[in-house]
Amino acid sequence: MTDIWRDDAPGERRAAFVENGNIVEIHIQRDALWALGECGAGRIDRKTPSGAYVIADDNSELLLRSKMGAPEGARIMFEVTREAIAEPGRNKPPEIILREGVCEPLMGKDALWETRVASLGPSAINASIAEGFDVAIAGQSQRGDVTISFQRTKAGLVFDIDGIGDAFAINMVAATEIARLLRLYQVGAMVLIDFVSMDSKAQRTQIAEAFDAASVADPRPFERTAINGYGMMQVVRARPRPSVLDQLFGTRIAALSDETKAYWLLRAVAQSTGFGTRTVTAQPDVATLLQSERWAAWRATAVRLAGADMVVVADEKATGYGHVHVAQS
């Protein structure tokens, strides 16, 4: 039995593909960023030997990876072919192609998201998918006596496997679980897996084939190497969008980004109950982001959904992603 769960909030939309009550895929769209397939306009900021950097009308920077005849400063129309991706220590800008005129059909963020959700299944229900982030935040999955740890690096996502007992049995569990995690968090680009070393080439082949079998239901294409004598296997997956891990942590390693904290606080405001003012307490950088002009529309939406006013308080001692207090009135 399959279901589609939707969990939308101001500025951040979520959906999950669910099989027999278990979340199989998590999809996120954040409206502060350009979405895959979205069209826009801007000007050529500076040309490079192989393309150009473009400044969109919202002052964001985008990358064109093809040569063009138009001069710097020229106005262009574009379509996003890869979304912006945050990696540890850096942000990679969205990639675009040129359009001669207005994109046909012209699709904004709302329509693109509805199309993306519809591709998961014929209907969707409202349900929280927050539990799907637990393993991502911990950076570790436990399957019996087998521990699968993972961390983002500039080069890609790295998995490490630990366990007690037979290496083949440990790796068989890990291969299936890693395939599940890659699909769950929509991971793309390079993945490096450090299996427990095995002397037998035949066993290494069996583990790689078990990974392939566990990946059959995942629609994202990938290529992989064989597992070498040291237990290393490299997987390369398509990456049209940031993974859930990229979105949660941004340019940080194993720590929620300010953007994630701000989105989650607005979500808490929008879903809160009661009649009193919502006081949002957050770390100073998060509070600044919440109060910025760019986030004004999402603040207004959260206030409308809560049916009450909202105030933001900066507190250096705020823990977690902050908290929302509902005044008694």
Fold of 2-33+109-128: Nucleotidyltransferase; domain 5 (3.30.420)
C-alpha separations of 82 from 35, 40, 44, 92, 212 in Å: 8, 14, 18, 10, 26
Please report the sign of the dihedral spanned by the C-alpha atoms of residue 247, residue 249, residue 253, residue 258.
positive
pLDDT in 10s for each residue of the chain, 329 residues: 899 999 999 999 999 999 999 999 999 999 999 999 999 999 999 999 999 999 999 999 999 999 888 999 999 999 999 999 999 999 999 999 999 866 655 678 999 999 999 999 989 999 999 999 999 999 999 999 999 999 999 999 999 999 999 999 999 999 999 999 999 999 999 999 999 999 999 999 999 999 999 999 999 999 999 999 999 999 999 999 999 999 999 999 989 999 999 999 999 999 999 999 999 999 999 999 999 999 999 999 999 999 999 999 999 999 999 999 998 86
**Would you state the structure tokens that stand for residue 134, as one six-digit string?**
């637990």
Q: HEC string of 174-192? A: HHHHHHHHHHHCCCCEEEE
Please state which of the four CATH numbers 2.60.40, 3.50.4, 1.10.260, 3.30.1370 is assigned to the domain occupying 134-237. 3.30.1370
In CATH, what number does 39-99 get? 2.40.50.140
Q: What is d(CA 168, CA 209) in angstroms, rounded to the nearest whole number?
A: 13
Looking at domain 256-326, its CATH superfamily turns out to be Ribonuclease E, catalytic domain (3.40.1260.20)
Angle of the 258-271 helix axis to the 296-306 helix axis, nearest 10: 30
> Which is nearest to 186 in space by CA: 136, 145, 125, 251?
136
C-beta neighbour count of 36 within 10 angstroms? 16
